[in-house]
Homo-oligomer: A and B are copies of this chain.
């Protein structure tokens, strides 16, 4: 009988898990908040070594470097054009859906929804990424299928589930709006409207989008009191016991890589093979890009499919070692059956530690802001 056969293996697994939890409990010294404040007020080179698995390239957490695209006079006309285009619903076939419909500044450049509502109220499959700090992105979309914002910008415009606008018709459509001519002239020296120019302007506008200065950045730049005790404990947990730095490191708290968290729903209704759809490499089945954690507390729901509405839920899932689905019999020998990343392990976090980790995420989340919508050219 299957159940009986599995018993020794189950017992072994349980013992191994208990041993592991004992081990991580043992090795993680509990510092007081004062000790942590002292420790982390030193230069980052003197911080405790983070708990990062062998072979993983990581970078230390650091303040956000200045955007090379913001407040650059020569780029201003391009950015201004991009802003107008970004908020203009005439970029969609229905003339009712703009980039800002799903990426709203007031909703942290996303939309607060599991998945976006697009053309004819159709739903997409993936959660809308926020646009904070896209200037630093190394690839775009959850599967990283394009390498530049210029390439990215064209996709939602054309997507029949999103703006549903044939790109080939768009330049002529905008050309009929007289008010657009001076914008293109200022940005490009002449009034010709092309798909590439539209995409370039949208890309450059998006490269200027940033959050306010966070408590984390203030702390990293020397303001010892900018982070609460909870957030400081969270920072240390993030770097050690909670193993977050294995994927979320550097100033933007991302490795820009792709990982399998077991949320691929392989062979089921909500199946999403992620990075594999781009590379066709069986190793990439079910992998999705590590998102930046900058502004993360305002960019929920989270994960590539918007599965989680609460950060507590996410903490619980990571604490369990995330999801490790077992193949149904018909997938047992499927060469595409994806294996959840070995980086993910049970963590043995207490409720207070989960709370502290969330406080740390709060420390890199800043206040909302309103960007007035530009007047649209007529």
Q: Complex Cα distance A309/B370, Å?
A: 9
Q: Are A112 and B114 in contact (CB under 8 A)?
A: no
Q: What B residues does A123 contact at CB under 8 A?
A: 373
Q: What B residues does A113 contact at CB under 8 A?
A: 104, 106-107
Q: Complex Cα distance A106/B367, Å?
A: 21
Q: Does A214 touch B at the CB level, under 8 Å?
A: no
- Interface size of A in residues (CB-CB distance below 8 Å): 29
Which residues of A, 169-207, contact B by the 8 Å Cβ criterion? none
0 or 1 for each of A359-376: is its CB under 8 Å from B? (1 = yes): 000000001101001001
Looking at chain A's contact residues, the main secondary structure is loop
Q: Complex Cα distance A114/B107, Å?
A: 10
Q: Does A351 touch B at the CB level, under 8 Å?
A: no
Q: Does A62 touch B at the CB level, under 8 Å?
A: no
Which residues of A, 25-68, contact B by the 8 Å Cβ criterion? none
Which residues of A, 84-101, contact B by the 8 Å Cβ criterion? 87-89, 94-98, 100-101
Q: Does A121 touch B at the CB level, under 8 Å?
A: yes
Q: Complex Cα distance A320/B198, Å?
A: 48
Given that A106-B112, A112-B107, A112-B112 are known contacts, is A367 also in contact with B121, CB under 8 Å in the complex? no
Q: Complex Cα distance A107/B96, Å?
A: 20
Q: Complex Cα distance A123/B376, Å?
A: 13
Taking a contact as CB atoms closer than 8 A, the residue among B104, B107, B120, B310 that contacts A89 in the complex is B120
Q: Complex Cα distance A119/B94, Å?
A: 11
Closest Cβ of chain B: how far from A278's Cβ, in Å? 28
Q: Complex Cα distance A367/B112, Å?
A: 14
Which residues of A, 102-119, contact B by the 8 Å Cβ criterion? 104, 106-107, 112-114, 117, 119
Q: Are A373 and B121 in contact (CB under 8 A)?
A: yes
Nearest to A106 among chain B residues (CB) is: B113
Q: Are A95 and B98 in contact (CB under 8 A)?
A: no
Q: Complex Cα distance A339/B123, Å?
A: 48
Q: Complex Cα distance A310/B106, Å?
A: 12
Q: What B residues does A301 contact at CB under 8 A?
A: 106
With most chain B CB atoms within 10 A of its CB, the pick from A88, A96, A301, A309 is: A96
Q: Are B121 and A96 in contact (CB under 8 A)?
A: yes
Given that A112-B112, A309-B368 are known contacts, is A96 also in contact with B98, CB under 8 Å in the complex? no
Closest Cβ of chain B: how far from A302's Cβ, in Å? 12
With most chain B CB atoms within 10 A of its CB, the pick from A106, A119, A121 is: A121
Q: Complex Cα distance A98/B117, Å?
A: 11
Q: What B residues does A121 contact at CB under 8 A?
A: 87-89, 96, 98, 100, 373, 376
Closest Cβ of chain B: how far from A165's Cβ, in Å? 13
By Cβ-Cβ distance, the 5 closest A-B pairs, closest first, are A96-B96, A89-B121, A94-B96, A309-B368, A106-B113
30 contacts between A and B (CB under 8 A): A87-B121, A88-B121, A89-B121, A94-B94, A94-B95, A94-B96, A95-B120, A96-B96, A96-B97, A96-B119, A96-B120, A96-B121, A98-B121, A100-B121, A101-B117, A104-B112, A104-B113, A104-B117, A106-B112, A106-B113, A106-B114, A106-B301, A107-B112, A107-B113, A114-B370, A121-B373, A309-B367, A309-B368, A310-B367, A310-B368
